[in-house]
Structure 1
Amino acid sequence: MSYDRTISLTSDFATTVDAVREALAAQGFGILTAIDVTATLKTKLGHDMEDYLILGACNPPLAHRALEADRTIGLLLPCNVVVRREGDHTLVQALDPNTVVTLTGLSALQPVAQEAAARLDAALASLACPA
């Protein structure tokens, strides 16, 4: 079972990060957290690695619906979106929201996961085929 939705772009890392933020915003997601994994590993471990950023994206109406269905779901929020370099491409990866339903076994979360997946898919599609 795949737990991600991934696209590969030829744009540089910084340009892709900006585009991802805009694409997510257009689908109602705000960015709650941004973890620069590259800088963290360099600072804490002296380890050099490719550009790697984890964005914690939240769509408040969807988060509210999920929390109404299960208060424990906060352990799986926000939606993580990774932007990272791989060779000469930049990958954008989003956790498949349906994974949350599979993990929890709560059918009440299915409609929320389906809407979140549709919005994330729309954001990713807009990156792959800019207007």
Structure 2
Amino acid sequence: MSYTYSVAVPLSFAKTMERTRAALTGQGFGILSESDIRATFSAKLGTEAATELGDYVILGACNPGLARRALTAEPELGALLPCNVVVRRGKDDTVTMIDAIDPETMVQLSDSPQVRAVANDAAAKLRAALSFIVAEARPAS
């Protein structure tokens, strides 16, 4: 079972980060947290570990309307929020990867129809954001 939606784009890491933020904002998500895993590896494990990993940032994305609906239905779901979106590029890679959590994984932990509806809406918005990034990365013809 896959638990993420993943796309590869032929853009630099910095450009992909910029487009990912814009695409998430366009779908009503805000970024609540940003974890630079490469910087953490560098500080805690050394530059060799950071270089081996490459660029790797986890964005904690939250759509407040969807979060409200989910938390109203099941307050415990807060443990699964925000929706994580990873932007990563290995040191020798020629593309940058974007991985977004599949909100349908929440449904597997809940029997609530309200949670299912929120997960469906969140999934549609995350897929739309990823589609936007891919479309924007295509060369102009």
Fold in common (TM above 0.5): yes
Q: Does residue 41 of the first structure (1) align with residue 41 of the second (2)?
A: yes
Given that residues 9 and 95 in structure 2 are in contact (C-alpha distance below 8 angstroms), is that contact kept between their aligned partners in structure 1? yes
Q: Which runs of 4+ in 1 moved over 2 A?
A: 103-108
Partner in structure 1 of residue 96 of structure 2: 90
Alignment-mate amino acid for residue 36 of structure 1? D
Q: Does residue 76 of the first structure (1) align with residue 80 of the second (2)?
A: yes
Distance 2:36 2:109 in 1: 27
1:116-131 superposed matches below 5 A: 116-130=122-136
Alignment-mate amino acid for residue 13 of structure 1? F
Alignment-mate amino acid for residue 79 of structure 1? C
1:1-131 superposed matches below 5 A: 1-46=1-46, 47-48=49-50, 49-86=53-90, 87-130=93-136
Alignment-mate amino acid for residue 81 of structure 1? V
Greater shift, 92-101 or 102-111, is seen at 102-111
Distance 1:28 1:58 in 2: 8
Structure 1: any 5+ residue segments left out of the alignment?
A: none
What is the percent sequence identity of the aligned residues?
A: 49
Deviations along 1:3-23, one digit per CA (max 9) or x if unpaired, are 000000010000000000000
Secondary structure at the counterpart of residue 24 of structure 2? helix
Distance 2:41 2:111 in 1: 35
Given that residues 69 and 114 in structure 2 are in contact (C-alpha distance below 8 angstroms), is that contact kept between their aligned partners in structure 1? no
Structure 2: any 5+ residue segments left out of the alignment?
A: none
Distance 2:21 2:128 in 1: 13
Larger radius of gyration: 2
TM-score norm. by structure 1 comes to 0.96
TM-score norm. by structure 2 comes to 0.89
Secondary structure at the counterpart of residue 88 of structure 1? coil
